[in-house]
Amino acid sequence: GKCEQCPRGQYMDITSHSQPSCLKCLKGKYQDEVGKGNCKDCPSGKYQDGYGTTSCKMRTCDAGAYSKDSKTQGTCYLCSLSTYMDENKHSKTECKTCAEGKYPTSTKTASCTFTKTCPRGQYSYRGGTCKDCYIGQYKSVEGR
């Protein structure tokens, strides 16, 4: 008989104990060439949630969010404390860090602002209301 190559989107499984067979690429993987013995991982910023595919999908997030390097889903996550994302429809895998003395205006933020200046003996968390220092702590200069 004639030898056949596995089509795109599939790979040759030579680990099975029976006849080698073509298997579909799993989620998070793809194969854009024929006759291959494995599938390729989707690159950072892209994902694939289907089986037997020949390419990956572009993951796009809105401002204030980023895409984890989770190759099996197109989920976007909110930027964490002291980070922000000012780009819309992007595929970045991490948020940008706020400059010294600036904090995000909220979670899922697209920019950073200077924090409130508090009087001595008080502090501000992420630019919020000034609060008294805890017992046993002090703040001798104005600032955040």
Question: Mind listing the pLDDT tens digit of every residue in the chain (144 residues)?
Answer: 677 899 999 999 877 667 778 999 999 899 999 999 999 998 877 888 899 999 998 878 888 888 875 454 667 888 887 788 888 877 788 889 888 767 776 666 788 876 656 767 776 665 566 777 776 655 554 444
- Using the structure block, give the residue that is written with the tokens 């006849």: 19
pLDDT of residue 32: 97
Q: Which residues have C-beta within 8 Å of that of residue 29, sequence separation ≥ 6?
A: 39, 40, 41, 42, 48, 71
Half-sphere exposure of 117 (CA within 13 A, CB side): 3
Report CA-CA distances (Å) from 37 to 16, 20, 30.
13, 10, 12
